[in-house]
Chains A and B, each alone.
Chain A
Amino acid sequence: MKSLFNKLGLAITFSPTGKALLAEAKRLTELFNARLMLIHVGEKNETTERLLSESISNSGLDESTIEIIRTNGDPADTIIKTSRDACVDLLIAGALEKENFIKYYIGSVARKIMREAASSVLILKSPSETPKSFKRFYVSTDYSSESEKTILTAYNFALLEKADDFVLVKDFHVPGLASTIQGSGSLDELEAAREQWEAEEEIKMSLLVSELNLRGIKVDIRCLYGKEGWEAGNYARIHNADIFAVTPPSKKLKFLDKLFPQNMEHVIKELPANLLIVR
């Protein structure tokens, strides 16, 4: 079987979170049977070299089997460019706002990576030095081809992890619906319309599951009425998802999209769980 991801990339830092991220990356490298590339953005000197070596050997990784790139520049841009040039297909990063020792890794870097990386991205909210496999997968779904790819990737990931739950969440919203009350609509009419739409979405979702031929783990479906992007993430958070998978928007985000967040932007801002962005 073809590997889900062939080459993983990890931006390395020398902090407790950095150690935990290395441990997570090691586990995932073995899980996917992939190669690992470490990207260190910063000055190359004796201290950083020593710290890098120590970090790698402490994590149990074999330095000779991994690729290490040392580079300078704006952290986010450099990480994105380096991983693209090196054909990384899953870039792993931590989501923490602040690191203890070094300034490289701030929330805005993670956000930029989530928005702009060319590859798939896995953002870990609280990486552990003794990582465990992910058991609860939640996928925000629509009906696009890109979303199908996300579902299939997350599903294969879940199969490798022997996950317990795999839930496809479809959130949808009909803006302005409540204003029909002002136009002589009644609450019953609104309720009936929403129920009908939910039922239609559930049917379409179950058809989608059968079209995708997902076998191995039972697939649950949830259709939720609420703000698109936010509602599915909130559902994943409430149910303590280990992985929440999303599809990035097909167009590059403009300034206004960030000011008035929609879809994936809600997830980026609120990180309901470890986030898998499939590209």
Chain B
Amino acid sequence: MSAGSITVFLLSISIMLFFAKLLGEFFTKIKQPAIIGEILAGVLLGPTVLGMISPDMLEWLFPKTGEVKTALDGFTTIAVVLLLLVSGIEVDFGVVLRHRKTAFSISLIGIIVPFALGFGISYLFPEMMGVQDKNIHLLFALFIGTAIAISSLPVIAKILIDLNLFKTQIGFIIIAAAMLNDLLGWLIFSVILGLMDNTGRSIGFGQTILYTIVFVVFVLFVGRKLINQAVPWIQSKLTFPGGILNFILILGFLGAAFTEYVGVHAILGAFIVGIAIGDSAHLKERTREIIQQFITNIFAPLFFVSIGLRVNFIANFDFVIVSVLLVIALIGKVAGGAIGARIGGLSKNESLAVGFGMSSSGAMGIIIGVIALEAGLIIEEVFVGLVIMALFTSIASAPMMSHFLKRKESFRLQDLLSPSNFLYSSATDKETLLIELANFAAPKVKIPAKEILQKVMEREKQGATGIANYLAIPHAKIKTNKPYVLTAKIKEGINFGSVDGINSRIVILLLTPENKNELQLQLLAETAKKFSNKEKIEELLSIDDKNIFIEMLKQM
């Protein structure tokens, strides 16, 4: 490269990074994925905006041919390989296997339905999608099917952490399904790439598929074990994190080089090697985070900005194509994911939440679009449609998922506290109070009061249930499907053996299903946490209205 080209190359990279960060941060601030800002930065810097204002400037900064173009393309290829490498590192077969029934059902049906819709419409109406060459009908339709069927784990993961649902059963199921969707999606995509015209390639289709299978099996079953032995050695003997990052990148690029050589695109190799590395129990969480940071903040923005540089988003905006892609993506993905979740045993609201969660195709859909565009399989209008579809689904999935998850039955203390499950008591001893509580609870949980009382008393004999700050939590596991919480305000304090020696004036009876040990502990923890501030509790004790009392307790 000449000195002039190097200068332009470095300048263009710094401009791309600057605008990507600027807009990415803005979108993060307004609670949207950063990828939207990064792509928008590309639209601003590319033919859509800068090209309109100053075509010369665009051509100087981001030339269509020549050394700078080659260098930028090389950079974005590395970026996309690294993106897939880290996606692979985050795949956890353990969680997929633990939730295999539901995860398989969600991801399989969640792939089949949108794939079939995308494939069917593209195959039946190729002209509508701008395909003139009859030789590529089939491949084109397969590509569209896959681009629509794939989901984006990072977008889903971010939604779950924002909704505080990551570490819940439904969170694990959604993550497991998204991971499996990624794996299946990339495998299907690789087969399609193998089907493509192999002129210029050293090997034929049969060999491509054979080598790919051998590669996947070898890396996942043999390589994984070798990596697991190498990781602790590297982390302890070489400098941290330099040594392990180097090791991960070397393996990632080697895998990518191999799959590119056999004709299925470099990304599959990086993804599979990533899975094998991520499976190692020795891989420090810090390493995962550092590599994510490194790629998310340097390589991913460059790749996403480069999307906008490729085409003019206004000139190539085709309303019909965008609408068709959006409609089939939303219908296919939401319906597929939701049907899969329902078959997998989830409730109606949970299934719809899963469907919307799985509908975000994010970065993965865009990567497929880029590869298809580069391969000449899709026209620019379809590419623009795919990018808009990926962004739209990423924006829409969070509020929709949140909406349906809020409607699903909740067993958090916050949702179980209710003025209708509240009583005032003038009991002066523990047994009288517990009889009163059992009698109140019995019709609600449809268990005889005597049985409830017996269980609660058994637990009382085992150890004190008085906590501190006027609180006691008598509790028991009973034959019920749902937890029940009854709040009682006592006129005069009763000794429940609290650690602070203060008699209890607020008694919360917790009745939980027999087989849900963790739920009982969770509710006990949530209740105790609310009573950490004595002054606030004393304020609460001065409230006589049960509605205000419960509302105030909820807000603690």
Q: Residues of A at under 8 Å CB distance from B?
A: 142-145, 148, 172-185, 187, 189-190, 193, 197, 200, 203-204, 207-208, 210-211, 213, 225-228, 230-231, 234, 256-257, 259-263, 266
Contact = CB atoms under 8 A, between A and B. Distances in A.
Contacts of B239: none
Contact of A262 (B98, B157, B295, B525): B98
Contacts of A200: 525
A143 B33 contact: no
A179 B517 contact: no
Contacts of B160: 180
A176 B178 contact: yes
A174 B167 contact: yes
B113 interface: no
Given A176-B178, A211-B521, 6 more contacts: A175-B92, A175-B95, A183-B34, A187-B289, A207-B524, A225-B285
Nearest to B179: A176
Main secondary structure of the interface of A (DSSP, over half): helix
B161 A189 contact: yes
Nearest to B32: A184
A266 B157 contact: no
B24 A179 contact: no
Interface in B119-154: 152-154
B221 interface: yes
Nearest to A215: B463
Contact of B292 (A181, A234, A259, A263): A181
A144 B517 contact: yes
Contact of B296 (A181, A211, A259): A181
A142 B518 CA distance: 8
Contact of B293 (A187, A210, A211, A234): A187
18 contacts: A142-B518, A143-B521, A144-B517, A174-B171, A175-B90, A176-B92, A182-B295, A183-B34, A183-B156, A184-B24, A184-B34, A185-B158, A185-B161, A207-B521, A213-B463, A225-B285, A257-B97, A262-B94
B281 interface: yes
A184 B158 contact: yes
Q: Which 9 A-B pairs have the closest CB atoms?
A: A183-B158, A143-B518, A182-B154, A175-B92, A183-B154, A230-B281, A260-B93, A262-B94, A178-B288
B296 A176 contact: no
B528 interface: yes
Nearest to B100: A256
A179 B292 contact: yes
Contacts of A173: 92, 94
B279 interface: yes
Identify the interface centre among A144, A175, A234: most chain B CB within 10 Å of its CB: A175
A227 B231 CA distance: 14
